[in-house]
Structure 1
Amino acid sequence: MATRSGAVLASGTANAAKFVVAALAFTAAYAGLSAYGIASSAQAPAPAAVSLSAEETPVTTALTARALAAGTVTVSALPAGPGCLKPYVARTLLINPDPGRTVSYSWKLARWSPSAKTWRTYFVDYSGFAGARGTAEWEATVSGNPGWYRVELAVEGAKTVKSDRFQVSC
């Protein structure tokens, strides 16, 4: 009888160990799928061209050397990406009249429509900051759509500031 009880106890322990391993595997799979679901439900970031920092340094240095002024938007081209990807960076200086309050602002890339004879929204992005002043920078990429563009900055409680127009060709 003692050997039969030992065999039952040993097989029960083995089954319990298999159950624990199966439960851990299920939990790990569930956690992985949950993380995948959370990651895939997040808003996709705006497409951006990837470039080496060594390529971007001269453009950034040139922008930093130029004094930014409140009420103006400066647009500069970044090194072109593969194919017809044309990345641009827009920068300005924002001054907050009430540093204790957050300022919201939006960037808009507008494209000239020759048929409608008006500027049409091509791409929009929203942001904000808190503090007395801040440098705002925004990167936008035009892909395979040549024409005339401009960047518009709309700051909450202020008039919209527009950059000079620039031509994108492919």
Structure 2
Amino acid sequence: MTTRSTAVLATGSANAAKLFVAALAFTSAYVGFSAYSNATAGTQARPAHQIVLSARELPVIEKIAAPVKVGEVTLSALAGGSGHCAKEYVARGRTTRSDPAQFVTYGWKLTRWSQATKTWRTYLADYDGFSGGTDTAEWRLHVSGDPGWYRVELSVAGAEAIKSDRFQVSC
């Protein structure tokens, strides 16, 4: 004598088996159609497409008149720029360490003059380092759509920050 729960379980199992067989048939048909489509695709002539390659010219850095001295930060603008109000700069500073075997860490900071607080506020920052006694650190920075007065600061671990002259970005 079968109980009602056994009948429901048997009916559910039969439905599940039917759904599995249907899904398997659908998948087989799809895979077969895809294989047929890929096999016939190579025999058909495809129209030729013209491909246009383009290259973007990178700006050339303006030459710095004198080499960078220790304790100084120089700033040069890249020729061109990527827009009307977008300016690109290269900041360079020469750092030295008394012990050449020691690793030197330094940080760059682009600060912007705030009229509201009458202080220099950090706009961008970057950090790096090198091994050895003396090295010229270089930082490429980008100011986009924010006119005002700026300056670049180079801070070496264990020494006072070196600041560039202020410069104005205008659109």
Q: Same fold (TM over 0.5)?
A: yes
Q: What's the TM-score, normalizing by structure 2? A: 0.64
Corresponding residue for residue 133 of structure 1:
134
Corresponding residue for residue 99 of structure 2:
98
> Could you tell me how far apart the structure 2 residues matched to 1:162 and 1:131 are?
23
Corresponding residue for residue 71 of structure 2:
71
> Could you tell me how far apart the structure 2 residues matched to 1:154 and 1:52 are?
33
Aligned mate of 1:52, from 47, 50, 57 = 57
Q: CA deviation at 1:121?
A: 0.2
Give structure 2 stretches of 5+ with no counterpart.
1-55
Corresponding residue for residue 110 of structure 2:
109
User: Deviation string for 1:18-58 (max 9, x for gaps)?
Assistant: xxxxxxxxxxxxxxxxxxxxxxxxxxxxxxxxx735x315x
> Could you tell me how far apart the structure 2 residues matched to 1:52 and 1:70 are?
33
> Could you tell me how far apart the structure 1 residues matched to 2:156 and 2:133 are?
14
Q: How many residues are treated as equivalent by the alignment?
A: 115
- In structure 1, what residue type is equivalent to 2:94? L
> Could you tell me how far apart the structure 1 residues matched to 2:57 and 2:95 are?
28
> Could you tell me how far apart the structure 2 residues matched to 1:82 and 1:111 are?
20
- In structure 2, what residue type is equivalent to 1:145? D
Q: Secondary structure of 2:136's partner?
A: strand
Q: Secondary structure of 1:103's partner?
A: strand
Q: CA deviation at 1:108?
A: 0.1
> Could you tell me how far apart the structure 2 residues matched to 1:93 and 1:126 are?
15
Q: Which runs of 4+ in 1 moved over 4 A?
A: none
> Could you tell me how far apart the structure 1 residues matched to 2:89 and 2:163 are?
15
Q: What's the TM-score, normalizing by structure 1? A: 0.64
> Could you tell me how far apart the structure 2 residues matched to 1:153 and 1:132 are?
17
- Report whether the alignment pairs 1:122 with 2:123: yes
> Could you tell me how far apart the structure 1 residues matched to 2:83 and 2:144 are?
10
> Could you tell me how far apart the structure 1 residues matched to 2:98 and 2:91 are?
22
